[in-house]
Amino acid sequence: MAILNRFTDIISANINAIIDRMEDPEKMIDQYLRDMMEDLAEVKRSTASIMAEENRAKREVDQNEAEVKKYEQLAKKALEAGNEDDARIFLSKKQEIESVGAGLASAYASAHENAVKMRQMHDKLANDIETLRQRRAMIKGKMSVAKTQDKINEVSQNVSKSQSALGNFKRMEDKANRMLDESNAMSELNTEPIDQAKALEEKYATQTSAAVEDELTRMKQELGLSPAIEEDESESSVE
């Protein structure tokens, strides 16, 4: 039966493997439960239908067996009454009903086998759903922990990036300092060097001017100019 094949595929699916394939178990677990509940409802309806078919087939078998027994008893009564022809008719009917009964028994056996399979699938699916319900909180808890760990990892990566940025900033600062030092050195090199000869020249030029004044004073004294001036100044001071 096609329905049996379909539900066999459903039941044979490994619930753990399905969970492992979920892209986001936390979001899909409830959806998967809803899907399984829909499958269970369909399995229940199909199981009920097949079990009803089994019961119908069983009733037909029981009715057939009752008919066989009835005509067997009638044949016996006919023989006891000395009516062999009537007994033959009853036995012929009995054999006819027994022939039909073979087919009914075969149909019942198939219906019973199908009912057992469907009941087994129903029970397994119901157990899987209960297992998944029990594991739902655990799965969601693990996903919550996983998300928290992802956030921690993300923050850790950001911290690492910040440390890297600080390192790059330090390198840029060192480079700027080095460029400034090189610029100052170049400026110092470009400055015109001090002419030591000129500096000495100014020094001795000052000394030369002093010597000139001394010589001028001496010449005034030789010429008799300075004493007169000093005497005039002395007289003016006395007055």
pLDDT digits (tens, 9 = 90+) for 206-218: 555 667 777 788 8
pLDDT digits (tens, 9 = 90+) for 96-111: 999 999 999 999 999 8
Query: In angstroms, rounded to a whole number, what is the distance separating the alpha carbons of residues 223 and 215?
Result: 12
Query: In angstroms, rounded to a whole number, what is the distance separating the alpha carbons of residues 26 and 32?
Result: 10
Question: Considering only 65-69, 138-142, 192-196, which range has the smallest mean pLDDT?
Answer: 192-196
pLDDT digits (tens, 9 = 90+) for 40-60: 888 888 888 888 989 999 999
Query: In angstroms, rounded to a whole number, what is the distance separating the alpha carbons of residues 43 and 15?
Result: 17
What is the distance between the terminal CA atoms of the chain, rounded to a whole angstrom?
A: 160
Residue 70, pLDDT score: 94
C-alpha R_g of the chain: 62
DSSP 82: T
Percent of the chain with pLDDT over 90: 23
Residue 109, pLDDT score: 92
Q: What is the dihedral of CA 208, 213, 216, 218, to 10 degrees?
A: -100
DSSP 107-147: HHHHHHHHHHHHHHHHHHHHHHHHHHHHHHHHHHHHHHHHH
- The answer, yes or no, to whether residue 235 has pLDDT greater than 70, is no
User: Who contacts 215 (Cβ-Cβ below 8 Å, separation ≥6)?
Assistant: none
Query: In angstroms, rounded to a whole number, what is the distance separating the alpha carbons of residues 163 and 160?
Result: 5
